[in-house]
Amino acid sequence: MHSFGYRANALLTLAVTILAIMCAVASFSDTFNSPSPTAEIKVVNIHRFQKLSNGNDEVAMVLNISADLQSLFTWNTKQVFAFVAAEYETHKHVLNQLSLWDTIIQSKEKAKFSVSISNKYRFTDQGSNLRGKEFNLTLHWHVMPKTGKMFADKIVLSGYRLPEQYR
Amino acid sequence: MDWQGQKVAEQWMQIFLLVSAAVAFVTGYVIGSFQLMVLIYAGGVVLTALIIIPNWPWYNRHPLNWLDSSEADKHPKPQPVVNSGNKKKNNKQK
């Protein structure tokens, strides 16, 4: 501590070390938060269901998505990425996932929402497997903290079925 | 900065940084604002830097008392014995 430069160096080193520890503890404090999010998705209308010229099935639908993800937010949460995926099984693959809609939630106030939207991304099967197909609508979310590791979870909503006929 | 001042400066630096970190963390956690935690800690670091880094007069209250140069003349530095080197050389050759 004998010179100006030595003191400045010592101060900076200790300050940054303590800051790193604070961030680690802040990240650890997230483990005390046990979130209880809820979600409800209604298929309001299937307004297009057709076979494309290349043989793939395509669906266009209007969804009503209500979700309360506020309990995911802690003081260490930067944002939450949420997306709704259609998930179904075909004879070829056990799990087919299609993202229909997504959003980035940047504050706790905006984490409780109810929207009616048509699917943002095309619901197209690689093949012609969708007639009468039962599928799940799953709300996935990825929590992005300010410090620490990201984590993801989901709510699976089942019991949806596509019509037997193209329209 | 004298020896005592350096010791005090280092101790104060550690205490101030740890206290401001604790205050910042608790305040941020209770209010629920990460930004507030960072701002309080940044303020603490700047304040600590102002207290610790400049050579303030209160770090120079214990100056070293050097002996007067006349004392050195009275007690001259002992001179090395001249033939000790030769003895070593002879031993090695044997």
Query: What does the pLDDT read at residue B75?
Result: 82
Q: Which domain holds residue A21?
A: 1-32
Query: What does the pLDDT read at residue B72?
Result: 79
* pLDDT tens digits along A58-109: 999 999 999 999 999 999 999 999 999 999 999 889 999 999 999 999 999 9
**Same domain, yes or no: A135 and A93:** yes
**Same domain, yes or no: A23 and A41:** no
| Cross-strand bridge partners of residue A83 | A102, A140
Query: What does the pLDDT read at residue B88?
Result: 52
Query: What does the pLDDT read at residue A141?
Result: 96
Judged by CB atoms closer than 8 Å, whether chains meet at A75 and B33 is answered as yes
Instruction: Compute the nearest-CA separation of B24 from chain A (Å).
Output: 9
**Same domain, yes or no: A63 and A135:** yes
In a domain, A123, yes or no: yes
In a domain, A167, yes or no: no
In a domain, A12, yes or no: yes
Judged by CB atoms closer than 8 Å, whether chains meet at A14 and B53 is answered as no
Judged by CB atoms closer than 8 Å, whether chains meet at A26 and B37 is answered as yes
**Same domain, yes or no: A26 and A39:** no
Enumerate residue ranges in chain B where pLDDT < 50. Answer: 94
**Same domain, yes or no: A88 and A141:** yes
Query: What does the pLDDT read at residue B84?
Result: 56
A16 — contact with chain B (CB < 8 Å)?
no
Task: Please give the residue of chain A at the shortest CA–CA distance from B22.
Answer: A22
Residue A44 sits in a domain whose CATH number is 2.60.40
**Same domain, yes or no: A19 and A70:** no
Chain A residues with CB-CB distance to B47 below 8 A = none
**Same domain, yes or no: A37 and A27:** no
In a domain, A70, yes or no: yes
| Residues B41-47: contacts with CB under 8 Å, at least 24 apart | B41/A18, B41/A19, B41/A22, B44/B16, B44/B17, B44/B19, B44/B20, B45/A11, B45/A15, B45/B17, B45/B20, B47/B16, B47/B20
pTM given for the model? 0.77
Query: What does the pLDDT read at residue B90?
Result: 53
**Same domain, yes or no: A18 and A78:** no
3-state secondary structure string across B46-64: HHHHHHHCCCCHHHCCCCC
Judged by CB atoms closer than 8 Å, whether chains meet at A11 and B54 is answered as no
Banded model confidence at residue A40, pLDDT cuts 50, 70, 90: very high
Q: What is the mean pLDDT of residues A16-41?
A: 94
Average pLDDT, chain A: 93
ipTM over 0.85: no
Domain total in chain A: 2
Among candidates B13, B34, B48 on the partner chain, residue whose Cβ is nearest the Cβ of A26: B34
